[in-house]
Amino acid sequence: MQPDQIKQLVEAHVPDSHVQVGIDGSHINLLVVSPAFVGMSPVKKQQMVYAALSESIAQGTIHAVHMKTLTPEEWQQQQA
């Protein structure tokens, strides 16, 4: 699966998201920033992203995912 395909899946499922995708062999590294994450626990944020990828994971197209899920405010704090 290509990075652009993964990005489109996540962006379609997570409202107003900015997604960066890195691929290292069979491992996918994601950075997802969205205001939809405001007030959510880290687990809930990850569940939202996994829901976008669940079919690809079930089919074995995506093997392993490491993700960082942030609100825009959290992203700004990390950039400072």
What's the number of CA atoms in the CB half-sphere (13 Å) around residue 21? 22
At residue 67 the predicted structure's pLDDT band, cuts being 50, 70 and 90, is very high
> Residue 61's pLDDT is what?
85
Domains of the chain, by residue range, sit at: 3-79
Q: Please give the CATH topology (third level) of the domain spanning 3-79.
A: GMP Synthetase; Chain A, domain 3 (3.30.300)
- Give the three-class secondary structure for 22: strand
**Model pLDDT for residues 21-64, shown as the tens digit of each residue:** 999 887 899 999 999 999 999 999 999 999 999 999 899 888 89
At residue 1 the predicted structure's pLDDT band, cuts being 50, 70 and 90, is confident
> Residue 65's pLDDT is what?
94
Please give the model's pTM, rounded to 2 decimal places. 0.92
Sheet holding 18-24, edge to edge: 18-24, 27-33, 64-70
For residues 32 and 14, the answer to whether their CB atoms sit within 8 Å is: yes
Rg (C-alpha) for the chain, rounded Å, is 12
> Residue 24's pLDDT is what?
86
For residues 49 and 69, the answer to whether their CB atoms sit within 8 Å is: yes
